Amino acid sequence: MKFRTPASTNLEAAECLPERVGTLRVANRNVVQNLQKVEHEEMTTKAPLVVIVGGGFGGLAAAKGLKRSPVDVLLIDRSNHHVFQPLLYQVATSVLAPGQIASPLRSLLAEQANTTVMLGNVTGVDAASKQVIVDADDKVGIRISYDYLILATGATHSYFGHDEFAAFAPGLKSLSDAESLRNHLLEAFEKAEIEDDPDRRKALMTFVMVGAGPTGVEMASAIAVMTQTTFRKDFRRIDPKSAHIVLADMASRPLGTFSEKLSEAARRRLMSLGIDVRLGKAVQSIDADGVILGEERIQAKTVVWTAGVAPSPAGKWLGCTVDRAGRVRIQPDLTVPDHPEIFVVGDTASLDHDGRPLPGVAQVAMQQGKYAAKSIFRKVVGHPPLPPFRYFDKGNLAVVGKGFAVLQSAGVQLSGFTAWLVWALIHIQFLSENSLRFSVLLQWAWTYLSGKRGARLIIRQRSGS
């Protein structure tokens, strides 16, 4: 059955139609205006993006410092892990495995909802347009815009104008460096075991460290301890204790950043370990068969470069003032002149502290990274700026073989076993995860008591794989 609508009702509806159409038009216009307002508010309230280049001590400290800030964070690094560089020499000398001193960056920052990690190689910075240029996988020249930029790009080896040395004297800055050096050291003893020629055997068992700073001292003493304890009963045709370990530096004393008293204590300890300490002579040449130190040629199949570092090319990227070493000259608030949105921290930065340049050590990078994070937070929320950066020097430490270290902090100078315990506790504390702290502590205890090492493995990738 079909119902009909009364004619009077139709007339009333027709009369009301223009009014209803006008009301709909007004409502639609209000909806559009409200949507535009919401979009504008979303654009204006969007969290600023902080791009951090480098996942070392400075970059990781900055990222963690921004955890509760109203910003988005993008951390870019060529490696997927953060490595505790002060213990790289223990990977190279088989005390620790690589996984005991490194952690994936994604794991370390997994609980930070505002932080993203990107595996990529930053090749430049366009400061004028506020963009970093990144190569990632097969994508070249990706441009990523930023509101704030923290450059924590670290340092690499410096051969002081003799880059030809690099092929014969590798440095120690990454896990791959440490693993490669570990393979080389272990292979040297294996080759010496089967070598009949006495001169070649002697060269295989000669190890030269170029540079008597903390890395050189720690590396030389670690090799000495390894030959006298771990390798003591392992070989039949060679005596590992007869290895010739040379520590060379053109300076007049080892550990030049320490006091003369501690430097002398370290020198005596090195000599007691059988290390040949050569000071006051420059390296003239390095090749596949050894080094020329002063006017003397030392036949050696192992040369390790522990003499110096060079900063990343950040200064070239920014086109700003750099110091003689190529580090970016920054202002007291850690920013680049004329670019208050760009911070440079760690080994890449050059800043004077009480009239002297800050040292390129982990503590400086960590404190600067935290400062940069706090400064960005204050900028974003509109708080007054921080006072100029001040470095709190917690002191210097260097280990010189089993059970011996030197410590210099706030007027306190120690050498020997007590200093070694302090060194061990501090290094355990600054590892990035509790699991690593526990693992390293157990391994150190076992190695100290037994002389056994945890990672005496020669691992090489198969050709063609």
* Contact present, 93 and 182 (Cβ < 8 Å): yes
Would you state the pLDDT for residue 310? Answer: 87
User: The tokens of 361 are what?
Assistant: 């050590």
Active-site residue set = 218
Would you state the pLDDT for residue 30? Answer: 57
Helix (H) or strand (E) segment spanning residue 361: none
Average pLDDT score over residue span 149-159: 93
Would you state the pLDDT for residue 7? Answer: 42
Asked if residue 2 has pLDDT above 80, the reply is: no
Mind giving me the DSSP string for 159-226?
-TT-GGGGGTS----SHHHHHHHHHHHHHHHHHHHH---HHHHHHHTEEEEE--SHHHHHHHHHHHHH
Render pLDDT for 190-233 as a digit per residue (tens, 0 to 9). 999 999 999 999 999 999 999 999 999 999 999 999 999 999 89
Taking the domain 49-78+120-157+310-381, which CATH number applies? 3.50.50.60
CATH architecture designation of domain 163-307: 3-Layer(bba) Sandwich (3.50)
Nearest of 93, 96, 74, 76 to residue 84 by alpha carbon: 96
What does the alpha-carbon distance between residue 417 and residue 413 come to, in Å, rounded to a whole number? Answer: 13
Render pLDDT for 42-90 as a digit per residue (tens, 0 to 9). 444 689 999 999 999 999 999 999 999 999 999 999 999 999 999 999 9
Helix spans in 66-162 (H): 88-92, 105-108
Instruction: List the beta bridge partners of residue 407.
Output: 397, 414
Asked, colleague to colleague, whether 49-78+120-157+310-381 and 163-307 share their fold, the answer is: yes
Cα 72 to chain centroid, rounded:
22
Number of H helices, E strands in the chain: 12, 27
Strands 339-344, 335-336: pairing kind: antiparallel
Query: Is 0.75 surpassed by the pTM of this model?
Result: yes
Asked if residue 452 has pLDDT above 60, the reply is: yes
User: Coil, helix or strand for 84?
Assistant: coil
Render pLDDT for 335-384 as a digit per residue (tens, 0 to 9). 999 999 999 999 999 999 888 889 889 999 999 999 999 999 999 999 99
Residue with tokens 């050569």: 278
What does the alpha-carbon distance between residue 327 and residue 275 come to, in Å, rounded to a whole number? Answer: 34
Would you state the pLDDT for residue 354? Answer: 84
Instruction: State the pLDDT confidence band at 14, using cuts at 50, 70 and 90.
Output: very low
Q: Is the dihedral of CA 342, 347, 350, 352 positive or negative?
A: positive
Nearest of 422, 404, 403 to residue 412 by alpha carbon: 422
Render pLDDT for 116-129 as a digit per residue (tens, 0 to 9). 999 999 999 999 99
Render pLDDT for 389-405 as a digit per residue (tens, 0 to 9). 999 988 999 999 999 99
**Domain boundary assignment for the chain:** 49-78+120-157+310-381, 163-307
Would you state the pLDDT for residue 454? Answer: 79
